[in-house]
Amino acid sequence: MKKQLVNYETLLKVTKAISHSKDPEEVVLLTVDSIKTALDVKGCAVFLINRKTDELELAASYGLSDEYLDKGPVSALKSIAQSLEDGPVAIYDTSDDPRLQYPDAVKKEGIASILSVPIVAGGNLTGAMRIYTAEPWEFTLEDVNFVQAMAQMTGMALEMARHYKGLKDSIEILKTMRDPKFLTSKKRTPYEGVPVSVPESEVDKKE
């Protein structure tokens, strides 16, 4: 029951942030932090699909090392591709799974299990949300449903931001997020990279 309550509070927090923000960077940062905290996992990441290269480009992450994130281009056709076509995919044992594109990097990072869920915006596949655990994890239906709900809200937020900014697709949103003229004006609070524009009351303070 406690876990269900935490997840419910997380959904409310992210929903409120989405309703008050048209900034996609703000939303994805809050989302990855909130999921990692709610599920108490090793890390979480949001990727967006670049249709020109068929690569999954990182939009935001929390809990993963720079070395792992810089391991190389992530192919939408090779890296747990089934989750983009058929829905959520849970990998219980990463030590022996052919669906991983970089098994050695996964092992070095100490990732035991992965859950990959598609992100859909405006009826179109936009990217993937992935959860990483340090210990073998049998993801429950509750876990999957929670992550799917978060992925759907992220997709909705990206679609809203795309229309607001007059951009053609989600990858253009990613480019604006990486543009120095946008990044230099942003500040971070001590609360796991959540922007200062998100009210402090909406951020779970760490003990």
Beta strands in 37-123 (DSSP E): 43-50, 55-62, 74-75, 89-91, 113-121
181 vs 151 pLDDT, higher one: 151
**CATH architecture of the domain with residue range 2-187:** 2-Layer Sandwich (3.30)
Per-position b or e across 131-142, b if 16+ CB within 10 A of its CB = bbbeeebebeee
**φ, ψ dihedrals at 77, nearest 5°:** -95, -15
pLDDT on residue 35: 87
Q: How far apart (Å, rounded) are the C-alpha atoms in residues 13 and 31?
A: 9
**Single-letter amino acid code for the residue at 80:** I
Rounded to two decimals, what is the model's pTM? Answer: 0.78
**Mean confidence (pLDDT) of the chain:** 78
pLDDT on residue 176: 62
What are the pLDDT digits (tens) for 65-117? 999 999 999 999 889 998 888 899 999 999 989 999 999 999 999 999 999 99
Nearest CA to 94 out of 85, 102, 86, 82 is that of 102
Q: How far apart (Å, rounded) are the C-alpha atoms in residues 173 and 10?
A: 24
pLDDT on residue 196: 37
Are 152 and 143 within 8 A, CB to CB?
Answer: no
pLDDT > 70: percent of the chain: 71
In DSSP terms, 132 is beta-bridged to 43, 114
Distances (CA, A) of 149 to 19, 35, 116: 16, 11, 13
pLDDT on residue 203: 40
Token look-up 């609360």 returns 191
The domain locations on the chain are 2-187
Q: How far apart (Å, rounded) are the C-alpha atoms in residues 39 and 63?
A: 13
Confidence band for 189, pLDDT divided at 50, 70 and 90? very low
